[in-house]
Structure 1
Amino acid sequence: MGCGVRGVILDADVILTPISSSPPQGPDDAVRLPPLADRLLRRLSLSGIRTGIALRSDSPSRVVELLMNLAASHSMECFGLNSWSAEDIICEIQKSWGEGGGEIIYVASESSKRMMIELASHGWVVVDLVSEMTDSNKSGSSNLISINSLLQLPSIICGIIKKTTSLDILVVGYIMKPSREEDFAKRGAFPMHPTPNGLIFMPLSFELPLHSQLNEVDVVLHKATDEIVSLNLSTLSEVSVRVNYSKGMQEVKSYLEHHRQVCVIDPLDKVYPIVDRLEIQKLLSDLKDPDGEGKHKIRGPNFFQVDNFDDDVILTAKGKFPFPCIVKPQVACGVADAHSMGIAFEVDNLMGLRVPLPAIVQEYVDHFSTLYKFYVLGEKVFHAAKRSMPNGTTLRKLSESKGLKPLLFDSLKSLPTVTGVEIDLPGNGSIPKANSEVLDFDLVTRTAKWLSDRLSLTIFGFDVVVQEGTLDHVIVDINYLPSFKEVPDDIAVPAFWNAIRKKYDLSRTQEGSGAC
């Protein structure tokens, strides 16, 4: 039994030259980096898998310079080979990497067929990047694998690690937008080498056949809200019917419905309530201290739902709660304007307010300009304090000079006035000690367990503010699979891995081994 993958060597040809039937149009075409190669290099760089680039020493200077820069930018090694032979390659790699300790994977194109066969005969795993669709192992040799896209390489790596490692390995296939993937990967959360509790992470690509990819994984980790195309909250049907996903996510959804043995973090029906702020508010309406031990009250904000900003809304708003109020789209995530909000300082501000409909009108809680972000990772609860918006009186003064008009803003960016002059939201500076001491951490931790039971989610976050005067703890938002970037990586990432592993283990003990 081997011990996983010692490293991956990428032939310069597969990085610089796209597989195409068209010849290069000019000298620069030969040194252009295809998008798929760039994506692969970034993934390998952040995966924990040792990676090198092989090139001929007599390559044009512009090729050598580009590859050297690529290798340096991705913390990879660059091997200049005097001759393009299996013996030369093996000698150069062993000088740097030594012998033994796992498989070496060499990725090359069809033009190096003879050399690839020689490397395979020496026990290396050789991946042949071919120009047409082909079976993954047409050669019949277990050491010579054919692929037609660089996007397939991570699954090859994960498959070899699982096959050659004596540990109980789980392959976690993940789906999320590239920027979110990179955020997690930069912090070491998505390694392809085994974590201490036996996880390896494999990106799932909508550009490849999904069925074959999903057949390789034990756990599907997703941020399905990244794949929402549209969401119609004006109908009375179930939320699951009202959510329209991308074609790729629809395929994943269909696969999971027919393969209940695959552990999903988390099942889509458990994520649906987080998409709808009205559902979130209804859940928080039942909120109370689970143990009744807290010296403070924990609750959701007072609110009401509106379908139009007209005279009926004005009548509804009167007497509901003191102004100012914050107005949010009912759609909580997954669409472009889900974070387009407004602050109204008097009832008339609601008339014709330019916030996407339907919307939630919610009390604005003065909160010491401090927001507490809580993260639930399985059984672990973490929190961090962040600077937030000022109290309602201060915001009112900002708007009075313009006729006390509502403030419109994007909650992911900064708070603009109606004239377009931006007022920067306070940053992530230190929280005054007096403010941090008002937080009843034990109360919120007990509530986190209550929310976890009610939502049946493995990894989620919620935002808490402490009301000035009453010291009520008010939960103002809940979200699925947050980045938890405010928590130190050496604490949060192992907790993230353990949450996934425990969820999978629990699913195997449940009757029928259904989806977790």
Structure 2
Amino acid sequence: MRLNGEISHKEDEEDEEEKQSGVLQPERLVVGYALTSKKKKSFLQPKLEILARNKGISFVAIDQNRPLSDQGPFDVVLHKLSGMEWCKIIEDYRQKHPEVTILDPPDAIKHLHNRQSMLQDVADLNLSDCNGKVRVPRQMVITKDSLSIPDQVFEAGLKLPLVAKPLVVDGSAKSHELFLAYDRFSLSELEPPMLLQEFVNHGGVLFKIYIIGETIKVVRRFSLPNVSKRELAKVVSVFRFPRVSSAAASADDADLDPGIAELPPRPLLERLARELRHRLGLRLFNIDMIREHGMRDVFYVIDINYFPVSQLSSVEIMLAAVCG
């Protein structure tokens, strides 16, 4: 398959060798990608490119200065760009080329840009017959007027401590800021719009569940420690935390209490993944899940992220997405 875009000389030489040998090779799967420079650096690592080449997959950069329909042909378009203009380009291309797999439709991705709406699909699920229960923390949205936050929290009946997160998820460092509030009056120090979630003690371990097509991979990450009633009575403040659950905070090799480290039941994860793929219309995302401390089968989904490739511990997972 001849392409417009970045193709290495080595691939051209391989194609020529195939022609001369007279041996028919499987047709390549062509993945066009449009990514930010940061995402491209974390995604297109040498190990992935080598593994992809061995599986007959070619990654081709999309030229954003040329019409998308003039490029390709592509089997898959992988993208993580923002802006109304790009969304319009992708949606127009999807309508004209239904044979191409788009990872993922802009309208579906947009659903995860707002923390108020992203967990609603989880709250609506009934997974009681899957070896466990999945819930979402009680939460509320604050859109304005910092000084009124203590009263709003009191009226809503939310229990302390509270986790405060930016309402909008736009990929920036600010959208991943995290605060833990021990008393409601200190909440007036925060800057709306934001989401407030009741903090659930979970033994300081979070499960990142990567859902890539029909493939599921789970890794453990260190998270915020439990908060005792004694601490809650003594501390009067709001604390800002650096980004938790990053790849650098891996807990997979740590010596943990089995009751904390045990992964969520596979049937539960498979059902959850299947339901969310259908409801969200996405094939490339991850779920942040915690187990309520002292409860073996009670889990909470606290966040959903799109295209978390930079934190994947295995490039084979990415290949499952483009091949699936």
Normalising by structure 2, we get a TM-score of 0.81
Q: Distance in 1 between matches of 2:45 and 2:209?
A: 21
Q: Distance in 1 between matches of 2:173 and 2:91?
A: 22
Asked whether 1:211 is paired with 2:68, we answer yes
Q: How does 1:81-480 map to 2 (within 5 A)?
A: 102-103=15-16, 166-186=25-45, 188-190=47-49, 194-196=53-55, 198-206=56-64, 208-211=65-68, 214-223=71-80, 227-228=81-82, 244-245=83-84, 247=85, 250-289=88-127, 292-294=129-131, 296-310=132-146, 312-318=148-154, 320-354=157-191, 357-393=192-228, 396=231, 400=235, 404-411=236-243, 427-429=249-251, 430-431=253-254, 432-434=256-258, 435-437=260-262, 439-471=264-296, 472-480=298-306
Once the two structures are TM-superposed, the CA of residue 337 in structure 1 deviates from its matched residue by 2.0
Q: Distance in 2 between matches of 1:101 and 1:284?
A: 47
Secondary structure in structure 2 of the residue aligned to 1:338: helix
Q: Distance in 2 between matches of 1:261 and 1:219?
A: 9
Contact 1:387 1:426 in 2 (8 A): no
Q: Distance in 2 between matches of 1:221 and 1:177?
A: 12
| Structure 2 CA distance for partners of 1:482 and 1:475, relative to 1, 3 Å | same
Contact 1:326 1:361 in 2 (8 A): yes
Once the two structures are TM-superposed, the CA of residue 452 in structure 1 deviates from its matched residue by 1.6
Secondary structure in structure 2 of the residue aligned to 1:351: helix
| Structure 2 CA distance for partners of 1:252 and 1:214, relative to 1, 3 Å | farther
Number of residue equivalences: 312
Secondary structure in structure 2 of the residue aligned to 1:220: strand
Secondary structure in structure 2 of the residue aligned to 1:209: coil
Structure 2 unaligned segments of length 5 or more: list them. Answer: 18-22
Q: Distance in 2 between matches of 1:297 and 1:213?
A: 49
| Structure 2 CA distance for partners of 1:450 and 1:167, relative to 1, 3 Å | same
Deviation track 1:333-392 (CA, whole Å, cap 9, x = no partner) reads: 3345211232111111222413xx321110111111101111112111110111112122
Once the two structures are TM-superposed, the CA of residue 180 in structure 1 deviates from its matched residue by 1.9
| Structure 2 CA distance for partners of 1:327 and 1:485, relative to 1, 3 Å | closer
The range that moved more, 465-474 or 377-386, is 465-474
Q: Distance in 2 between matches of 1:101 and 1:282?
A: 49
Once the two structures are TM-superposed, the CA of residue 460 in structure 1 deviates from its matched residue by 1.2
Secondary structure in structure 2 of the residue aligned to 1:278: helix
Q: Distance in 2 between matches of 1:395 and 1:176?
A: 47
Contact 1:219 1:263 in 2 (8 A): yes
In percent, how many aligned pairs have the same letter?
Answer: 23
| Structure 2 CA distance for partners of 1:182 and 1:292, relative to 1, 3 Å | same
Secondary structure in structure 2 of the residue aligned to 1:469: coil
Q: Distance in 2 between matches of 1:348 and 1:470?
A: 31
Normalising by structure 1, we get a TM-score of 0.53
Once the two structures are TM-superposed, the CA of residue 499 in structure 1 deviates from its matched residue by 3.1
What is the root-mean-square deviation of aligned Cα atoms in Å? Answer: 3.6
| Structure 2 CA distance for partners of 1:193 and 1:349, relative to 1, 3 Å | closer
Q: Distance in 1 between matches of 2:180 and 2:52?
A: 48
Secondary structure in structure 1 of the residue aligned to 2:174: coil
Once the two structures are TM-superposed, the CA of residue 500 in structure 1 deviates from its matched residue by 2.2
Once the two structures are TM-superposed, the CA of residue 457 in structure 1 deviates from its matched residue by 1.3
Q: Distance in 2 between matches of 1:346 and 1:193?
A: 51
Secondary structure in structure 1 of the residue aligned to 2:150: helix
Q: Distance in 2 between matches of 1:303 and 1:249?
A: 30
Q: Distance in 2 between matches of 1:212 and 1:474?
A: 43
Report the residue type matching 1:288 in the other structure.
N
Once the two structures are TM-superposed, the CA of residue 478 in structure 1 deviates from its matched residue by 0.7
Secondary structure in structure 2 of the residue aligned to 1:374: strand
Once the two structures are TM-superposed, the CA of residue 288 in structure 1 deviates from its matched residue by 3.0
Q: Distance in 1 between matches of 2:230 and 2:272?
A: 30
Report the residue type matching 2:181 in the other structure.
A
Q: Distance in 2 between matches of 1:470 and 1:192?
A: 40
Which contiguous aligned blocks of 4+ residues in structure 1 show a shift greater than 6 angstroms?
Answer: none
Report the residue type matching 1:315 in the other structure.
D
Deviation track 1:176-234 (CA, whole Å, cap 9, x = no partner) reads: 112322222225334597442x431101132x4133553432321112xxx33xxxxxx
